[in-house]
Amino acid sequence: MTARAVNTNGEPRKTLIPGTACPGAEPVAAAVKGATTLKRLLLPVLAGGAALLPLLIATYRRRTLPSPREWLVAAKKTARNTMWSTLFFCSFGFFFSALYCLLRNLRKKDDDWSPFLSGLLGGSAMLCEQEERRTELLSFAMPRFAEVVWGLAEKRGYVRAVPYGAPVLFALALGVVMHTYRREPRNLKPIYRTVIKHAFAL
């Protein structure tokens, strides 16, 4: 599909979202195809494999191999996390692609509303993820949201780039995390406490 199509009034349409099979494609068929692509299925595998990280770090620190029971517990957790994360990623891809293609084919135009509304529906796929992992998804999405909002505001001249802004924000964030680790460790997830403890020998 060519990215630059022409509307009925002769004006060029906006660039399509990469990988979205529109227009002319059946929304459901396009959504199923998009939801089951290899790269979407690889992300849950990596997310599920994160359950092995604390065990591997502990193995490195102790210089001893984990017991069979520890491997079994980690394997079960990895399988469960992979299953739920796969369901989340595929559901997000399906919901977003289906509604985007449907809106685009019905409205016969490309504008900002179709991807925005499709993203809202796709966000409901978080309900397919485990409750304890939803905060992790939010902690990943919120910085991306802030980055996009800042970029749009900077592009329109509402704000200016701050020299060394990223290192300053990183230092402040790390300061809060380490303060919490020392003073209120229960407010950090066990996996975060484990990584900090073994990675930084604290």
Does the pTM exceed 0.75?
no
d(CA 17, CA 85): 23
Each residue's pLDDT tens digit in the chain (202 positions)? 333 444 545 544 555 554 455 644 555 555 555 555 545 555 555 555 565 666 566 665 666 666 777 777 777 777 777 778 888 888 888 888 888 888 888 888 878 888 899 899 988 888 888 887 788 788 888 888 988 998 889 998 998 888 888 899 899 999 999 999 999 988 888 878 877 887 776 6
